[in-house]
A and B are shown apart, each in its own frame.
Chain A
Amino acid sequence: MKGSHENTSRPRSPHVQVYRPQLTSVLSFGHRLSGLFLSLGAVLLVGWLLAAVTEAPAFSHLNAWLGSFLGLALLFVWTLALFFHLCNGIRHLFWDAVIGFELKTVYLTGWIVVFTSIGLTLMTWALALWRIG
């Protein structure tokens, strides 16, 4: 653990071990987690593009795996991460313009982001399944 202290025999008071999870910290951690997960998905995106323009068998293998139960589950979680990161990202962009810092607004927009991302994910999947099915 990081910190400056001369007397290393003193205990450090607990922080993440006892601090109460709140909308502020939970959504912020969700933004980071979704970003990490999306980065992995971006690698897959490049692989998918490469397979599409080069070899037919590689492309169909990849698509078949994505269509499997595991593949679809991962894609679902990936779309949820995408919409959450997108909506919360827009919330962040407003903060960077110094808009919306009153605690009331932080909580209102926070819950809006949560419900909007779930809603958009379900809508997108319904649309996609209706198109393909």
Chain B
Amino acid sequence: MGSDDNRVAISRARGLGSAKTGAGQWRWQRVTAVALVPLVVWSLASLIAVVGGGREAVVEWLAMPGAAIPMILLLIALFWHIALGLMVVAEDYLHRDGVRFAAVAVIQLGCMALGVTGVVAMVLALIA
């Protein structure tokens, strides 16, 4: 006990200093969330309306611009929101730097890949 202990404690609390970043990510998580509220409600309602009609009906519906545009926006906003959210979860629970870096990389790349796949599927529906 003594001022030395406090000095060690303070330097540990200061750590490597502030990263001076993080507000942007926080904002985009909220912006995609705001976009997702109407998009999710719309797509859920539309999917329920179209789900009984068979594959052709689904593809026909996806090819309409009134459905294609919101679906593509949904895919972009959704996978961006998912990527940001899962990154936060990984940062919370994974404390070893290497493991955390790998997890964040997998999440970011995975979400990008899935988003692109979804958009490509939509393009295929449009040109079919």
Contacts and interface: CB of A to CB of B under 8 A. Distances in A.
Interface class of chain B by DSSP: helix
Given A4-B9, A42-B78, A52-B59, A131 B121 contact: no
A46 B121 contact: yes
B52 A60 contact: no
Interface residues of A, number: 32
Given A50-B121, A86-B40, A132-B51, A93 B114 contact: no
B34 A93 contact: yes
A94 to B, nearest CB: 11
* Category for how many chain B residues contact A: 35 or more
Contact of A43 (B5, B37, B40, B114): B114
Interface in B32-60: 33-34, 36-37, 40-41, 44, 48-49, 51-52, 55, 58-59
Contacts of B122: 49, 53
A45 B44 CA distance: 11
Contact of A89 (B33, B82, B95, B128): B33
A26 interface: no
Given A4-B9, A49-B122, A86-B40, A35 B52 contact: no
Interface class of chain A by DSSP: helix
B58 to A, nearest CB: 5
Kindly list the 5 A-B residue pairs having the minimum CB-CB distance in the complex, ordered from nearest: A49-B121, A53-B124, A46-B118, A53-B125, A50-B121
Interface of A: 2, 4, 6, 32, 35-36, 38-39, 42-43, 45-46, 49-50, 52-54, 56, 59-60, 82, 86, 89-90, 92-93, 96, 124, 127-128, 131-132
Interface of B: 5, 8-9, 12-13, 30, 33-34, 36-37, 40-41, 44, 48-49, 51-52, 55, 58-59, 62, 75, 78-79, 82, 85-86, 89, 95, 114, 117-118, 121-122, 124-125, 128
